[in-house]
């Protein structure tokens, strides 16, 4: 994923406000602990979401371990550069992986952390992540139009099919983030087939197809590659142990230069983008910005919209899940 960089403009001192919502999976008859864990430290300007995997108890324990490791590392005020951020992120992940080793092999977790720094040269948002928990920047122009920009790229079996081709990965991810019906999926699939046909290296497409069928774990060996395959595999995500003790998974990192039109960030587990499309998220954010209680209103409105969709019987995107959302506003 290429580094997101823009022309640097003067940035005034940051005024950070934050609100978060964490809700258990809807329609669950048992009152249980969530697998999603939040990390919120406004003083250090560090925010994280960790989505445990491998069963309720094991998953939550794994998420707590990564949250504690990240929280301890990122209290350090020496993190004033992207280089230090990357080193501290790798150290936090490594420490968490060691603590995970005694747990059952199925215990794992995704994770994303957002660190904001402000210096005399401007302000930056830095992210580290594994899996499909996300961080997105929220931008609003002078006309009130809201756009979101992903600062992370999901790590799952769908994205693993084209490890060296940004164009294919970006197309697949964009398509899966913006469809609401099966018909829309197949409309996008026609574009995808055209991209495959136009690619000038047939061996690479064959290799991707073989990787696709391996990732599907022999559930179905298709003669053709379709977006439906990727829709199924998008929820087969990597954790910090890569679902195996044979290979440890280091976090990916990214940085974003904060601009005057940057109004905030969202850090969330997959409940948000699984249930809502990108335009739907943007519309909820636009509505919430009219509320004097922003960002509190945004956190609640986003979580309620995601939960409502997750219980909408028969909807293409509906996926009941724990929901953890942190909304950070910058003024």
Q: What is the pLDDT of residues 174-224, one digit of tens each?
A: 999 999 999 999 999 999 989 988 888 888 888 887 877 776 654 455 556
Position with higher pLDDT, 59 vs 205: 59
Both structure tokens of 211: 């990787």
Report if residue 2 sits inside a domain: no
Q: How confident is the model at residue 244 (pLDDT cuts 50, 70, 90)?
A: very low
pLDDT at 319 over 90: yes
Least confident window among 23-32, 112-121, 183-192:
23-32
Q: Where are the alpha helices (DSSP H) in 77-117?
A: 82-100
- By the 8 A CB rule, do 237 and 156 touch? yes
What domain range includes position 303? 16-155+238-330
Last residue of a domain, one of 194, 212, 233: 233
Give the pLDDT of residue 219: 47
Residue in the structure block whose two tokens are 């048992």: 30
Whether residues 117 and 266 share a domain: the answer is yes
Asked whether residue 103 falls in the same domain as residue 200, the answer is: no
- Same domain? For 145 and 250 the reply is yes
| Edge-first strand listing for the sheet containing 16-23 | 16-23, 323-330, 262-268, 134-140, 146-150
Instruction: Name the average pLDDT for the chain.
Output: 86
Report yes or no on 10 lying in a domain. Answer: no
State yes or no: pLDDT of 11 exceeds 50.
no
Looking at the structure, do residues 132 and 178 belong to the same domain, yes or no? no
149 part of a folded domain = yes
Let me know whether 146 and 201 are in one domain. no
Largest Cα–Cα distance in the chain? Answer: 56
- Between CA 177 and CA 71, with CA 295 as vertex, the angle to 5 degrees is 80
Q: Is residue 173 part of a domain?
A: yes
Both tokens assigned to 319: 């996926």
- Main-chain dihedrals φ then ψ at residue 138, nearest 5 degrees: -110, 125
Closest CA to 161 of 107, 240, 110, 231: 231
226 and 96 inside one domain? no
**Mean per-residue pLDDT, 115-142:** 92
Tell me, rounded to whole angstroms, the distance of Cα 193 from its chain centroid.
27
Q: Are residues 135 and 176 in the same domain?
A: no
Spatial separation of the C-alpha atoms in residues 38 and 41, rounded to whole Å: 10
Cβ(81)–Cβ(100) under 8 Å? no
pLDDT at residue 10, as a whole number: 52
Residue 5 falls inside a structural domain: no
Looking at the domain assignment, is residue 8 inside a domain? no
Residues 101 and 171 in one domain: no
Say yes or no to pLDDT of 24 above 80: no
Single residue among 179, 203, 233 that ends a domain in this structure: 233
Domain assignment present for 104 = yes
H helix intervals, 74-201:
82-100, 166-177, 182-198
Number of domains within the chain: 2
Residue 8 clears pLDDT 80, i.e. is over it:
no
Least confident of 121-125, 127-131, 207-211, 266-270: 207-211
Looking at the structure, tell me whether residues 40 and 101 fall in a common domain. yes
Q: Among residues 179, 204, 233, which one ends one of the domains?
A: 233
- pLDDT tier at 76, thresholds 50, 70, 90: confident
**Residue 292, pLDDT score:** 83
Cis-peptide, bond into residue 295, ω within 30° of zero: yes
Least Cα distance to 235 among 215, 264, 262 occurs for 215
Q: CATH code at 286?
A: 3.60.40.10
Q: Alpha-carbon distance 117 to 119, whole Å?
A: 7
């Amino acid at each position: 994923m290429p580094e997101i960089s823009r022309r640097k403009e003067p940035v005034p001192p940051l005024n950070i406000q934050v609100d978060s919502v964490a809700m258990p999976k809807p329609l669950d008859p048992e009152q249980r602990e969530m697998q999603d864990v939040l990390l919120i430290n406004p003083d250090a300007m560090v925010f994280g979401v960790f989505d445990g995997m491998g069963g309720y108890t094991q998953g939550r324990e794994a998420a707590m371990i990564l949250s504690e490791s990240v929280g301890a590392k990122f209290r350090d005020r020496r993190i004033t550069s992207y280089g230090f951020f990357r080193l501290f992120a790798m150290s936090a992940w490594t420490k968490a992986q060691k603590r995970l080793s005694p747990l059952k092999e199925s215990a794992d977790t995704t994770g994303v952390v957002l660190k904001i720094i402000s210096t005399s040269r401007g302000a930056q948002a830095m992210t580290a992540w594994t899996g499909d928990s996300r961080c997105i920047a929220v931008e609003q122009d002078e006309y009130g139009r809201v756009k979101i920009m992903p600062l992370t790229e999901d790590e799952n079996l769908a994205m693993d099919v084209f490890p060296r081709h940004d164009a294919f990965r970006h197309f697949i991810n964009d398509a899966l983030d913006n469809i609401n019906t099966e018909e829309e999926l197949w409309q996008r699939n026609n574009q995808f087939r055209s991209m495959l046909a136009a690619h000038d290296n047939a061996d690479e497409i064959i290799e991707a197809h073989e990787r696709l069928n391996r990732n599907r774990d022999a559930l179905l060996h298709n003669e053709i590659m379709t977006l439906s395959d990727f829709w199924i595999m998008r929820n087969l995500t990597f954790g910090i142990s890569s679902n195996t003790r044979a290979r440890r998974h280091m976090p990916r990192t990214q940085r974003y230069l904060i601009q005057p039109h940057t109004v905030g960030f969202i850090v969330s587990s997959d409940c948000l983008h699984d249930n809502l499309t990108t335009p739907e998220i943007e519309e909820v954010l636009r509505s919430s910005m009219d509320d004097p209680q922003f960002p509190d209103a945004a956190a609640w409105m986003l979580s309620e919209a995601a939960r409502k969709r997750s219980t909408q019987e028969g909807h293409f995107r509906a996926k009941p899940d724990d929901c953890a959302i942190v909304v950070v506003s910058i003024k």
